[in-house]
Amino acid sequence: MKGLLYVLNGKLAANPKLKLFNPLLAQTISAFGVLTLPPLSSFIVQDLKLSTFLMGFIMASFYLGCIIFSFFTGNIINFLGIQKSIVLSLIIIGFFIMLGSLTHSTWIMLFLLAIAGMGYSLINPAINLLITQDFPMEVRGFVMSVKQMGVTLGGVLTALLLPKLAFLFSWRISLFIGGALVMCFSLYFLHILKDYPANSSNNAGVNHFNSIKIFFKNSRLFRLSILSFFFVGAQFSYFMYLVLFLNLDLKYSVAVSSVLLALSQASGAIGRVIWGAASDRAGDKRKILTVIGILSSCSLLFLSLSPFMSVPFVVMVLLTILLGFTVSGWNGIYQAAIIEYGGEQSAAVSSGVSLTFTYLGIFLFPLFFGWTKDTFSSFSISWILVSVCLVISTFIIHKETKLPSSKIDKYAG
């Protein structure tokens, strides 16, 4: 509620730079880029005759580049500045998606999309640093959740737009247009974000590696990062494979499956704001993360049983909406907690290092999910395994030993 009141009382509305809008737009456009493949997965599988595992590998290839590059993004952002980092990120994402749509080699496509992922690794820490400059600590759970709405909004746009373009033309043309749109929006940020200079001090490299060392000594940061590995794995497994699951196991058409994906993404966008406001009110963000984990786990268990039951379509609609609301509602809370536990001075580095765990989860979980589906010839076991991982991850953050206040102050900068 504090975050919502902060927006409504005019402090943001009076700002011509649209402080709340810019992080949301940047996240939406970048997410649109990296989520271009899931709604096109049925077209790609049929055209290229791919296994579920290999399709998962292609969808996750964005995050292979993220994993490789994330440890160094904080230093790069401190050197380039927020504006140049965001602009460069969108250009790299869009350009290499366009190139990927032109190749007929699966492995070349994987390579090009991995480079696009290197661009994506820049944007989250850059947006987080933008938020630390523009918003006070007491509303950052809300603001981070609004920003993270962009991930689900980007997914909604890809689910609504790209399958229609694929039906009209081809999946390659649809993918090319998606990349071109991402590149076009880099011009907006080139024009609008001009008040955020680079931090190119001589000690930037030393501070960067010192911040990485401190990150791994901070128990709360490290455990939150492990949680993000499991939570993001569940989130992306769900969104990446939902269309294939509905189409192959439940025999829904691609068009209907895409609509359910869009509904799920839209409910996730709403959920992020509500969960973010709840975390600001609760104070301890771990409580809200635990609630999200339990609700998501139970919903995934029910989803795993749906092929063996006669589930009415209305119930499936409600289930996908609930899953979107829960399984993607955690990210803004987690990123706000990372900045809170790591300190504002090392926000870009803490976010970059922590997101390495997140990207690793995004990369590995879809591969594991696709492998289990191919092995057991059913999505149900895959959903159950993901559900178990969510439960385990909530225990991880509650078993930590609290740090003495003196050490917390030291880690905070």
Read off the amino acid at residue 232: V
Measure the CA–CA gap between 14 and 82, rounded to whole angstroms. 22
Confidence of residue 1 (pLDDT cuts 50, 70, 90): very low
Measure the CA–CA gap between 380 and 377, rounded to whole angstroms. 9
pLDDT value at residue 222: 80
Measure the CA–CA gap between 103 and 100, rounded to whole angstroms. 6
Query: Is 409's pLDDT higher than 80?
Result: no
Query: Is 401's pLDDT higher than 60?
Result: no
Confidence of residue 395 (pLDDT cuts 50, 70, 90): confident
343: left (phi over 0), alpha (psi -120 to 50) or beta: left
Give me the phi and psi of 269, to 5 degrees please.
-65, -45
Query: Is 86's pLDDT higher than 70?
Result: yes
Q: Do 223 and 397 form a contact (C-beta atoms < 8 A)?
A: yes
Kindly state the average pLDDT of the residues 370-396.
Answer: 87
pTM of the model: 0.67
Q: Please tell me the least confidently modeled range out of 277-286, 310-319, 399-408.
A: 399-408
Confidence of residue 196 (pLDDT cuts 50, 70, 90): low
Q: Please identify which residue in the block is written with the tokens 């943001």.
A: 12
Query: Is 90's pLDDT higher than 90?
Result: yes
pLDDT value at residue 16: 38
Cα angle for residues 271, 183, 106 (degrees, 5° grid)? 85
Confidence of residue 96 (pLDDT cuts 50, 70, 90): very high
Confidence of residue 176 (pLDDT cuts 50, 70, 90): very high
Read off the amino acid at residue 354: S
pLDDT value at residue 182: 93
Query: Is 32's pLDDT higher than 50?
Result: yes
Query: Is 118's pLDDT higher than 60?
Result: yes
pLDDT value at residue 210: 58
Of 318, 276, 305, 297, the residue nearest 149 (C-alpha)? 276
pLDDT per residue as tens digits for the range 213-264: 666 676 777 888 888 889 988 988 888 888 888 888 888 888 888 889 888 8
Confidence of residue 35 (pLDDT cuts 50, 70, 90): confident
Q: Do 31 and 150 form a contact (C-beta atoms < 8 A)?
A: yes
Average pLDDT of the chain is 79
Kindly state the average pLDDT of the residues 316-330.
Answer: 90
Measure the CA–CA gap between 181 and 94, rounded to whole angstroms. 7
Pick the more confident residue, 82 or 296.
296
Pick the more confident residue, 213 or 366.
366
Measure the CA–CA gap between 147 and 131, rounded to whole angstroms. 9
Kindly state the average pLDDT of the residues 75-103.
Answer: 88
Percent residues over pLDDT 70 in the chain: 81
Q: Do 82 and 196 form a contact (C-beta atoms < 8 A)?
A: yes
Q: Do 163 and 14 form a contact (C-beta atoms < 8 A)?
A: no
Which domains does the chain possess?
16-411 (1.20.1250.20)
Kindly state the average pLDDT of the residues 164-187.
Answer: 92
pLDDT value at residue 6: 45
Q: Please tell me the least confidently modeled range out of 200-209, 230-239, 241-250, 381-390.
A: 200-209
pLDDT value at residue 200: 46
Highest mean pLDDT range out of 41-50, 282-291, 309-318?
309-318
